[in-house]
A = this chain, B = another copy of it.
Amino acid sequence: MATDCELCNPVTESVLWQDAFCRVTLVDDSDYPGYCRVILERHVSEMTDLSAPERARLMDAVFAAEAVLREVLAPDKINLASLGNVVAHLHWHVIPRYRDDRHFPKAIWAKPSRPPSGRGAPDADRLARALKRRLGSPD
């Protein structure tokens, strides 16, 4: 735990699934409905700071989030990224992308290409149930 880390000390988060190792949250981003984060509970910076089984466990949650977003939202593409330049606490961005979204085909961190598509927020309960089916009941 790092006292000044916003992922160690979350204020408001919409948690879809969680166990003692990691959590999956739904990001409140009107440009990117369904945008999820998979956040390691421990304060660790890089994937290669984890053991191989820990890396596999975290990626299992990332790929479960990808699978659920594809199943529920049928986006045109999924983007996965672990950056952590601002908050060096391992977290994965799992982002459903659409051809008419604000930045497509650019990364969501680029300058926008067009106005928001106005696509609505997904049903968080449905995403949470689908994650539970894939990842099991939280601890």
Contact = CB atoms under 8 A, between A and B. Distances in A.
Interface of A: 45-48, 55-56, 59, 63, 66-67, 70, 77-86, 88, 97, 104-107, 109-111
Nearest to A65: B48
A43 to B, nearest CB: 15
Stoichiometry (number of copies) = 2
A49 to B, nearest CB: 9
Given A56-B56, A109-B106, A109-B107, A66 B47 contact: yes
Contact of A48 (B46, B63, B81, B106): B63
Nearest to A70: B48
A97 B85 contact: yes
Contacts of A82: 79-81
5 contacts: A46-B70, A48-B67, A56-B59, A85-B105, A107-B107
